[in-house]
């Protein structure tokens, strides 16, 4: 049975409310942390090896240690709840069903960073969740965990929930800060980093929902114990939101030692692929990470078992590997068309480009148009090379990583499924009637035959 640190009590009746949450051991980490020094808390988080759960995987304790502490200037913690990466819906689950876990993590983290006013920036479409969070905040306040002089320590803390209004880019931390200031979500040039100059020019730390929730078990069990779970630099547990062509879509907590094959086929997790279909491909970490064909997904290029952790998923680099990313796990069965899937993602990134940098603003539009032509039987062979050329000219040439996020799915689709693109070009009529199927990597059938 897998270790569960975040979702252990997710099915306790009434866990959304204070009484049940407290009864199952909630807010113990606040009692413990407020007796420690802020520096000692940062040290525990460093020892835990916790890596940012939003997608970048940057060590959280190290990020915290960068925060500037100029005399007399307030500092802020901002919780990034702008979950918008296609395939990702884990933070929603945490906030909807375990709001107090996030609030608890926010109180401890606010104390560690010296934030007296902490903001949760939540995507606007999750319109019913702010009510749940604000109710939890009110309950926490009524029970003395928030407000003035918490537990008699002299520490004051308020948490506010701000709704965004529909913009993927606001998940990028400097765009989020701009949005929190009431502006368009145009990312800022770094440096200065938010840790020095963030919201209202004050030192700011922006962390993902799951990262901040993970602070609770880290404080409760200690950083060293947390670091023993998992493998290598993939410590602790990770929430995976699984979707696409699987029997049991949903949010799963894994301890990063299980294999990708087990995750897809075991009844404890995705429960296999519906209707006896075969696995064709998978985007394992949210739409921006490279798509992998079944054979490279279940085994690395060296023929070793691939595991659900940061290192194993990226084994082989972008040539034959992918990334853990946000944990948005998207499965495609044999009936799916990689060209069409890539088109919907290209459309997504064109729609979400903020328009600030020309390679991204123009390039995402061109990629969508070319993909549309190929998908609808109007493509030329040279279009495939043109697509490759455009994505290369976007990658690395923009202020923020949205450009890279738009380029990678197109690059990986061409890299691994070029034959499918060519088939569309060569068979413009047939490709309107049927999908290409599995044809180009026969060995995958054997791998997934079980």
DSSP single-letter state for residue 181: T
Q: Which is nearer to another protein, 49 or 325 (CB)?
A: 325
For position 110 contacting another protein by CB under 8 A, the verdict is: no
376 near another protein, rule: CB under 8 A? no
Residue 5 CB, nearest approach to another protein (Å): 21
- Judge if the upstream peptide bond of residue 191 is cis by omega within 30 degrees of 0: yes
Q: What is the DSSP string of 8-55?
A: TTTTSTTTTSHHHHHHTTTTHHHHHHTTS-HHHHHHHHHHHT-B-TTT
From 46, 51, 53, 92, residue interacting with another protein (rule: CB under 8 A):
92
Using CB under 8 A, which residues numbered 233 to 252 contact another protein?
241-245, 249-251
Among positions 19, 200, 305, 419, the unique one binding another protein when judged by CB under 8 A: 200
Collect all residues with Cβ–Cβ distance below 8 Å to 299 and sequence separation of at least 6. Answer: 305, 306, 447
**C-alpha span between 385 and 411 (Å, rounded):** 10
Q: Is 400 in the site for another protein (CB under 8 A)?
A: no
Q: Which of 9, 48, 80, 84 binds another protein (CB under 8 A)?
A: 84
Interface with another protein, residue 332, by CB under 8 A: yes
Which member of 247, 344, 427, 435 binds another protein (CB under 8 A)?
A: 344
Non-local CB neighbours of 163 within 8 Å, separated by 6+ positions = 122, 123, 124, 126, 127, 130
3-state secondary structure of 123: coil
Is there binding between residue 180 and another protein (CB under 8 A)?
yes
When the beta carbons of 110 and 179 are compared against another protein, the nearer one is 179
CA distance 60 to 66: 10
Among 71, 128, 152, 154, binds another protein (CB under 8 A): 128
340 binds another protein (CB under 8 A): yes
Q: How far is the CB of 341 from another protein (least distance, A)?
A: 5
What is the nearest approach in angstroms of another protein to the Cβ of residue 48? 27
Q: Is residue 272 at the binding interface for another protein, with CB under 8 A as the rule?
A: no
Q: Which residue, 65 or 186, has its beta carbon nearer to another protein?
A: 186
Q: What is the nearest approach in angstroms of another protein to the Cβ of residue 365? A: 14
Phi, psi of 132 (to 5 degrees): -65, -45
Smallest gap from Cβ 92 to another protein, in A, equals 5
Distance CA 257, CA 88 (A): 21
Q: Which is nearer to another protein, 118 or 314 (CB)?
A: 118
* Residue 323 in contact with another protein, rule: CB under 8 A: no
Is residue 160 close enough to count as binding another protein by CB under 8 A?
yes
The reply on whether position 157 binds another protein by CB under 8 A is no
The packing angle between helices 99-113 and 90-97, to 10°, is 100
DSSP 349: H
User: Residue 287 interacts with another protein (CB under 8 A)?
Assistant: yes
Q: Which stretch binds another protein (CB under 8 A): 48-56, 99-107, 215-223, 328-336?
A: 328-336
From 377, 373, 369, select the one nearest 423 (Cα to Cα). Answer: 377
Does residue 117 touch another protein according to CB under 8 A?
Answer: yes
Q: How far is the CB of 182 from another protein (least distance, A)?
A: 3
345 touches another protein by CB under 8 A: yes
156 binds another protein per the rule CB under 8 A: no
Of 137, 157, 161, nearest to 74 by C-alpha is: 157
C-alpha 403, offset from chain centre: 17
* Between 233 and 340, CB nearer to another protein: 340
Is residue 360 at the binding interface for another protein, with CB under 8 A as the rule?
A: no
DSSP code per residue over 360-400: HHHHHHHHHHHHHHHHTT---HHHHHHHHHHHHHHTT-SSS
* Burial state string for 74-87 with b = 16 or more CB within 10 A and e = fewer than 16: ebbbbbbbbbbbbb
Count Cβ atoms below 10 Å from residue 183 Cβ, excluding itself: 10
CA 395 centroid distance within chain: 20
Per rule CB under 8 A, is residue 138 in the interface with another protein?
Answer: no
Tell me if 413 contacts another protein by CB under 8 A.
no
Among 183, 190, 228, 378, binds another protein (CB under 8 A): 183
Question: CA separation (Å) from 161 to 130, 183, 332?
Answer: 6, 17, 36
- 53 part of the interface to another protein, by CB under 8 A: no
Determine the size of the site formed for another protein (CB under 8 A): 56
Binding status of residue 312 toward another protein by CB under 8 A: no
Give the residues lining the site for another protein (CB under 8 A). 74, 83-89, 92, 117, 119, 123-128, 160, 162-168, 179-185, 200, 241-245, 249-251, 283, 287, 328, 330, 332, 336, 340-341, 344-345, 347-348, 351-352, 354
């Amino acid at each position: 049975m897998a270790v569960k640190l975040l979702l252990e009590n997710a099915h306790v009746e009434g866990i959304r409310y204070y009484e049940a949450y407290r009864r199952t051991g909630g807010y113990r980490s606040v009692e413990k942390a407020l007796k420690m020094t802020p520096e000692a808390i940062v040290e525990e988080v460093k020892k835990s090896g916790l890596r940012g759960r939003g997608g970048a995987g940057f060590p959280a304790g190290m990020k915290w240690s960068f925060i500037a502490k100029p005399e007399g200037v307030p500092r802020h913690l901002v919780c990034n709840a702008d979950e918008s990466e296609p395939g990702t819906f884990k933070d929603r689950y945490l906030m909807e069903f375990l709001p107090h876990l996030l609030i608890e993590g926010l109180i401890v983290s606010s104390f560690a960073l010296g934030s007296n006013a902490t903001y949760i920036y939540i995507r606007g479409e999750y319109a019913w969740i702010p009510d749940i969070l604000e109710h939890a905040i009110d309950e926490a306040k009524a029970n003395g965990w928030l407000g003035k002089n918490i537990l008699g320590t002299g520490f004051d803390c308020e948490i506010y929930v701000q709704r965004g209004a529909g913009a993927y880019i606001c998940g990028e931390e400097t765009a989020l800060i701009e949005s929190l200031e009431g502006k368009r979500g145009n990312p800022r040039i770094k440096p200065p980093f938010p840790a020095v100059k963030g919201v209202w020019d004050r030192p700011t730390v922006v962390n993902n929902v799951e990262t901040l929730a993970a602070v609770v078990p880290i404080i409760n069990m200690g950083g060293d114990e947390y670091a023993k779970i998992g493998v290598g630099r993939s410590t602790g547990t990770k929430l995976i939101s699984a979707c696409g062509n699987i029997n049991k879509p949903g949010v799963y907590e894994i301890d990063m030692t299980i294999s990708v094959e087990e995750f897809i086929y075991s009844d404890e997790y995705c429960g296999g692929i519906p209707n006896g279909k075969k696995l064709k491909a998978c985007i394992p970490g949210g739409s921006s990470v490279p798509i992998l064909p079944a054979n490279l997904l279940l085994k690395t290029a060296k023929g070793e078992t691939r595991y659900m952790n940061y290192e194993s998923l990226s084994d082989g680099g972008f040539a034959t590997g992918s990334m853990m990313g946000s944990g948005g796990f998207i499965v495609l069965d044999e009936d799916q068309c990689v060209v069409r899937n890539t088109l919907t993602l290209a459309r997504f990134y064109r729609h979400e480009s903020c328009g600030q940098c020309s390679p991204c603003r123009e390039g995402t539009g061109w990629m969508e148009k070319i993909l549309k032509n190929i998908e609808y039987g109007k493509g030329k062979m040279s279009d495939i090379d043109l697509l490759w050329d455009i994505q290369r000219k976007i990658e690395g040439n923009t202020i923020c990583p949205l450009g890279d996020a738009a380029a990678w799915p197109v690059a990986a689709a061409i890299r691994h499924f070029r034959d499918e693109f060519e088939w569309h070009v060569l068979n413009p009529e047939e490709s309107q009637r049927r999908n290409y199927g599995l044809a180009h990597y026969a060995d995958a059938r054997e791998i997934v035959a079980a």
